[in-house]
Structures are given as structure tokens and as C-alpha cells.
A = this chain, B = another copy of it.
Amino acid sequence: MAKQRTRFPSDMLVLDRDASVPMHRQLYEKLRADILAGHLKADTRLPPTRLMAEDLGVSRNTVITTYDTLLAEGYLESRSGSGTWVATLPADAVTARNAVGRTDAPSLSARGNRMVNQPRDRTIPGHIPFHPGYPEIKGFPFSTWARLLKRHTRYSQEDLYGYHWVTGHPRLKASIAEYLQASRGVDCDAEQVIVVNGTQAALDILARVLVDEGDVCWMEEPGYIGAQNALLSAGARLEPLRVGPAGWTLDDDTLLAPRLIFVTPSCQWPLGCVMRMEDRLRLLQVAENHDAWIVEDDYDSEYRFRGRPIPAMQGLDKAGRVIYMGTFAKTLFPSLRIGFIVVPPHLSEGFKRVASNTGHYPSLLLQAALADFLSEGYFATHLRRMRRLYSERQKVFVGLCQRQLGEWLSIEENDAGMQLVGRFLDDIDDETLWRAAQRQGVNFSPLSRLFFKNPPDHGAILGYAGIDLKAMREGIACLRAAFIEIEAKRAPT
């Protein structure tokens, strides 16, 4: 026989059913902490998922999700035919990778522990980037961008190098307002535009300014993990606003009354569906009934290939309860780190203090260059080119997937967006596929990670916008190999 077994001490696992942290995260954190602290020793066999689920009174999917995450991170290992075991960690991992270490340092705050324990969607640099949200980067007009940057990289005016314009450079605010009015039907002037350090910064601000600890937020399920993290970090309790191919479930009576509703109506993340006008009006009514805020994240609405664009909910709202947010991560490039919030007029003054006090505003040099990029027409030209390119890439990508992956994956063209969700024809676990794909050298995002309360759907969120034909073919071949690998493993059982 191989290694000696250690009994699994299942009585030490107590989950808090009323906590705002989803059960699978609680279970993940407890198991991980116990492994790192040495309470769960290497070569302890974990109970089978079904038994563990019964013991804890949670769904089996919760346990599967948890085991898979810990397997992916190397805390657990799967031994062929004999289940799941605590892995032997490198000696320094226990101290170095431990969020709550064994120094004499004080402990983090409860809030800090929430913040360090939010999951992070990792992408592996160098792998074929089917991870969603990546625009075409090689096609970006870098020489123009370099010229605009250089134009401002000199001592021209004090206001570009000092401590001014905490809610954004006035010219950039004006350009954004103009663009949003014309392209997105957003009803705003420059003063209402708050330039921030990217989408996550916007979420980090709004989660705190709009909700208190313990407040209920309706969060799309499946929905953007960054928004989930920001809301949970701020102490919110998430209630699932279910989204499926048919749209948003706006009449779920089981949900607690919300203080805030987070939606991506122009192109739902990750499903890509668009909220119909009548649902937008209904959602506004629902929010009014609850006196709730709506946060409308319009992260990639520019990429709409067919059909008429539907104006932003912000433009339909007369009460000032919709806070609109957007980003240049998808239209220029992610590491630019410039996004924006549009606040109702009565909040624009207060947000100066919020920006100033949180420090969530980006370099004025970049803002000045971006203002020129918008006002001199480069932005519109680049968008037009990208819209055409992504539309073509989507067709090619779907065709290739259908031909190469059709045995396992169902995927269809969509009217909008930069990524598609492929559904499995068979009962495949997306985290298992993800691990196989990592070994094959390709990134994608598992759909199940975007569920926080209900049993997750499994699928592959596949970004196609930033990938040329050659890389697309290579990546799909890698995915094919990953499917074959997990199929081979499943066969013997």
C-alpha cells in the first residue's frame, strides 16, 4: 500500500447558512485555511463529494465546485480510483501562501479577511488567450497613441502634473459625455462624468457609497465576478437575479428586497443577451418599488453586430437612481486602467470628495492623451474597425468550434459582445476541462465560477475578439485535446 491515511475530521466544518458569503466559498476557505494551518494534514483522504454534501447539508455541486478549486490550486490531489486527498505542500507554501500567516503580526480586520478571500480569475500569460474580455491589441494604433502621449509629456501646464481634476480631466469628461449622449443615449453632462481607475475601481467605489454592510444586492447569476467581489468586499449580501437565454428573471418573489441591483443590460456578462426595452422599464419600476439603486455596467456595448442598439437604462431613468458605468478596457486595451461612472447631477459634487479620498483616479497624462484620442476621431475610427473585425472573427470562431469541438460543445453566434458561452453536450465539469486546457496551454473561463448561490451551469466562456486566425486554430486544437484528455479519463469508470 502507498501512503498512510489520516482520518478526515468532518466535525470541524461548520458553515454559516445565513452568511452573505456563498456556501462553496465558505467551504473553500475553511478547507484551505485548515490545510495551510496544518489541521488537515497531507495524505488525509476527503470524503466523497456525495457524503460530504450530506454531512454538511449542502448541494453536491457546492462540494464539487470547492474540491475542484482546491484541486486546481494544488491543495488537494486526485488519486486515480481512490478519491481526493490533501496534497503535500512545499514547506514554504504553508507560510508564504497563507493569507493569515503565523507571524506575530496583528490579524486583518473582518473586512480585510473578506477582501483577501475573494476569488481571483486567473489567466496564464503566454497561453492562447481565449479568456474573455480581451480586445484585439495588435491592431491598436500605437503610433498615434505614442504621438498623443508625447504631446503631453512636457511641462505645459501645472494642472497636468499636479493634484488637480480628481474626477477627471475636464476635456476628457466632456468627450466622454458627448460620446455617451450620441452613442448610448446616456443623459448627462460633463460634470456628471467621474473618471476612475477602471471598471473594478468604479465597482469598489459604488459598492461602498451605495450600500452598507449587510445590505441586500441583487446580482446577476451568472454574473461578473468582479462585481460580486466588490459587493461582497463591501459587506453586501448577494441575492441571485437569475439570467438565462430567455433573459432576466425579474419576478422572483423569493428574493429579499434590494438596496442595489447590478445589471449588464446591453450585453449580459457572460451570456451576451440584451435586455429588451420592456424589461428595462419593468426593472426601473422594480427598483422604484424597493427604492433601490441600479448600477448599469455597460462594459462592452460598443460591439453590437446586428440589430439596433438599445439606449442605456440611464437614459430612461428620470429619478436619478441609475448609476451608469463603462470602461476603455475593451475599446482601447485593459491595462490602460481608465473607466468612468456617470452619477446623477446631485451627486457630482460629493463624488469629488469620494475620488479625492479613495485616490481612484488615473494619471492625468493618460487622460489628456485619451481626450485627444476621442476628440480627434481616432476612437471612432478604431471602434468601427474593431466592430467589423470582431464580427468576422465571431463567424470564423463559431464555425471552427462547431467543426472541431462539435462532439462536446454547442456554441452559436451572438449579436453582440467579445465572447461566447459554449455549453457542453455531455455532463462535463468546466473546472475539470479548465485544468486540462491549462495543461494544453489555452486559457478560457469556466461558467460555473460565476454562480454564487444556485447550482451552477457548466460551460466555457470563450473570448475570440483578440485572437487572429492562426492562434484561433491553435487554441481550438488545444481545447480539442483537452476534451479528448478528460474523455479518456472518464472512460474507465
- A208: interface (CB < 8 Å): yes
Q: Is the CB of B319 within 8 A of A103?
A: yes
Best-surrounded residue of A158, A159, A230 (most CB of chain B within 10 A): A158
Q: Which residues of chain B are near A142, meaning CB under 8 Å? A: 153-155
Contact yes or no, B349 A98, CB < 8 A:
yes
**Shortest Cβ distance from residue A247 to the other chain B in the assembled complex, whole angstroms:** 25
Q: Is the CB of A346 within 8 A of B137?
A: no
B residues in contact with A145, CB < 8 Å:
153
- Mark out the residues of chain A between 92 and 150 whose CB falls within 8 Å of any chain B CB in the assembled complex: 95-106, 108-112, 115-120, 123, 125-126, 129, 133-134, 137-138, 140, 142-143, 145-146, 149-150
Pick the residue among B98, B259, B346 that contacts A105 (CB under 8 A).
B346
- In the A-B complex, list the 3 residue pairs whose CB atoms are closest, starting with the nearest: A101-B346, A200-B359, A116-B350
Q: Are B153 and A146 in contact (CB under 8 A)?
A: yes
Question: Are A120 and B356 in contact, with the CB atoms below 8 A?
Answer: yes
Give per-residue flags for A155-168: 1 if the beta carbon is below 8 A from chain B beta carbons, else 0.
10011111110100
Taking the complex as formed, is A279 at the interface, i.e. its CB lies under 8 A from any CB of chain B? Answer: no
Do residues B109 and A215 form an inter-chain contact, with CB atoms below 8 A? yes
- Given A335-B162, A350-B99: A200 in contact with B356 (beta carbons within 8 A): yes
Q: Does A197 sit within 8 A of B, measured CB to CB?
A: yes
A164, closest chain B residue (CB): B125
Query: Bound complex: CA of A102 vs CA of B345, how far in Å?
Result: 10
- Find chain B residues with CB under 8 A from A208 CB: 109, 111-112, 115, 233
The tally of residues in A whose CB lies under 8 Å from a CB in B reads 106
What residues on B are CB-neighbors of A125 within 8 Å? 158-159, 162, 164
Please state if A363 and B360 are interface contacts (CB–CB under 8 Å).
no
Contact with B along A280-292 (1 / 0, CB 8 A): 0000000010011
Q: Closest residue to A145 on the B side, CB-wise?
A: B153
Interface residues of A in 186-221 (CB under 8 A from B): 197-204, 208-213, 215
Task: Say whether A362 faces chain B, with CB atoms less than 8 Å apart.
Answer: yes
Q: A101-B346, A140-B161 are in contact. List 10 more A-B contacts (CB 8 A).
A: A96-B346, A100-B346, A105-B347, A110-B212, A120-B353, A125-B164, A229-B356, A335-B364, A336-B365, A338-B363
**What separation, in Å, do the CA atoms of A68 and B352 have in the docked complex?**
21
Does residue A456 face the partner (Cβ distance < 8 Å to B)? no
Is A248 located at the chain interface by the 8 A CB criterion? Answer: no
